[in-house]
Amino acid sequence: KTSYWKLQKNSDNQEIMQEAAALIRAGEVVSFPTETVYGLGADGLNPEAVAKIFAAKGRPNDNPLILHIAKKEDIAQLTTCLNANAKKLMEHFWPGPLTLIVNKSAIVPDAVSAGLETVAVRFPSNKFAQDFIRACGCPIAAPSANISGRPSPTNAQDVLEDMQGKIAGMLDGGNCGIGLESTVVDTTSAVPTILRPGGITYEMLTEVMGAVEIDPALQGDKNFKPKAPGMKYRHYAPKAPVYLFEGEACKCLPQVIAKALAEGKTVGVLCGHELESELAELVEKQQLQLSCWGDSREQLAADLFYLLRDFDRTCPDVILAEGVEEDGLGLAIMNRLRKAAGYQIITLENGSLHLKNN
């Protein structure tokens, strides 16, 4: 049985936080909101509690967890050394959607770090998250609150869809603002390296840090092994096959959609507003589920996982997605879309459509 609490915006929610924290201290798992996605939290220093997170998600044991803290100083006990890069990143971007990889101290259980010498630490900016972590009085180990492989949940209903009955508690704090998971940066390398793009963009990082590298495995090149173990798994994938249209290929989407419909297929489309008007007529007469995002990257990021999950409720035969430019939040959006598509990417080459299938 999962206890459910609705959090109130203009309140400290003291009673609720105390009840949820009591569950954490008893070694149980409680889901909580952050500014990125919902987390599945447990006492990060208690290996048995951490094991329950892996069980609830069906998560592979070799995929380490992030420890969440509610004040900057709390990172000190979790690491043997905070170098100048790590300190600078904390100073500029904490609290916020940035996770730092640092060398781990002896108190971090192997279950959290999955046997690595490093640990991931994050100080979320969401006030409910901060109040919850503070009430617990320990670092909170938390992955995204989805069943392993599914899109991360950005609202309480999506958490319950995956976790009802499997966890002790659920703190409902409404919709997550950013909608994509935090940026993960390795601070143990000479040049800080992005292992997972997210809400803190490459541009924001280089402005503060100068040189910043991006893990080459993020481009989907199988010759490189991702440094964040979680990035190697198939992820965010709806049940239907997804094809991601990139660059000039997007212009061919209306034709491709019309052809699939003519073949009798039910089609899901994920695209921006410009295509929406072109497709309006098809939506009216045919088997087309059109999911459109607003004008900004921020809106697309905020809606992306919800829209991907939505396709599982209707289950079209095929999903066609329009890609975006990779500047700003676009890097994180395209990273998630490519994974959702299982790297089935359509490009336009010498005037004809080309399927790249890594």
Feature table: binding site for ATP = 59, 63, 118, 144, 152, 196, 236
Task: Pick one of 31, 34, 46, 154: the residue that binds ligand TXA (CB under 6 A).
Answer: 34
Q: Which letter does DSSP use for residue 272 in this model?
A: -
Nearer Cβ to Mg ion (130/144):
144
Q: Which residue is nearest to ligand TXA (CB)?
A: 230
CB of 148 to Mg ion, least distance (A): 8
Q: Which does 63 bind (CB under 5 to 8 A by kind): Mg ion, ligand TXA, none?
A: ligand TXA
Interacting residues with ligand TXA between 104 and 123 (CB under 6 A) = 113, 116, 118-120, 122
Q: Which does 148 bind (CB under 5 to 8 A by kind): Mg ion, ligand TXA, none?
A: none
CB atoms within 10 A of CB 15: 10
CB of 326 to Mg ion, least distance (A): 21
Nearer Cβ to Mg ion (144/183):
144
Judged by CB under 6 A, does residue 185 bind ligand TXA? no
Q: Which does 316 bind (CB under 5 to 8 A by kind): Mg ion, ligand TXA, none?
A: none
User: What are the CA-CA distances from residue 262 to residues 256, 265, 282, 285 (Å)?
Assistant: 10, 7, 11, 12
Judged by CB under 6 A, does residue 196 bind ligand TXA? yes
For residue 226, give the nearest of 339, 323, 330, 321 by alpha carbon: 339
Task: Pick one of 17, 50, 100, 231: the residue that binds ligand TXA (CB under 6 A).
Answer: 231
Residues 6+ apart with CB under 8 A from 126: 33, 34, 35, 173, 176, 177
Core vs surface per residue 102-127: b (16+ CB within 10 A) or e: bbbeeebbebbbbebebbbbbbbbbb
321 in helix, strand or coil? strand
Task: Pick one of 27, 229, 272, 328: the residue that binds ligand TXA (CB under 6 A).
Answer: 229
CB of 58 to ligand TXA, least distance (A): 13
Q: Which does 297 bind (CB under 5 to 8 A by kind): ligand TXA, Mg ion, none?
A: none
Task: Pick one of 85, 182, 187, 201: the residue that binds ligand TXA (CB under 6 A).
Answer: 182
For residue 73, give the nearest of 110, 141, 121, 109 by alpha carbon: 121
Strands 318-322, 288-292: pairing kind = unpaired
Write out 228-270 in H/E/C secondary structure.
CHHHHCCCCCCCCCEEEECHHHHHHHHHHHHHHHHCCCCEEEE
Judged by CB under 6 A, does residue 36 bind ligand TXA? yes
Q: Which does 154 bind (CB under 5 to 8 A by kind): Mg ion, ligand TXA, none?
A: none
Judged by CB under 6 A, does residue 192 bind ligand TXA? no
Tokens read off for 327: 């500047």
Judged by CB under 6 A, does residue 42 bind ligand TXA? no
CB of 241 to ligand TXA, least distance (A): 23
CB of 165 to ligand TXA, least distance (A): 20
Q: Which letter does DSSP use for residue 78 in this model?
A: G
Q: Which letter does DSSP use for residue 99 in this model?
A: E
CB atoms within 10 A of CB 335: 23
CB 141 within 8 A of CB 54: no
Using the Cα atoms of residue 335, residue 336, residue 342 and residue 348 in order, give the sign of their dihedral.
Answer: negative
For residue 138, give the nearest of 181, 108, 170, 179 by alpha carbon: 108
Q: Which does 64 bind (CB under 5 to 8 A by kind): ligand TXA, Mg ion, none?
A: ligand TXA
Annotated binding site for L-threonine: 36, 68, 122, 142, 182
The residues binding ligand TXA (CB under 6 A) are: 34, 36-37, 39, 63-66, 97, 99, 101, 113, 116, 118-120, 122, 142-144, 181-182, 184, 195-196, 227-231
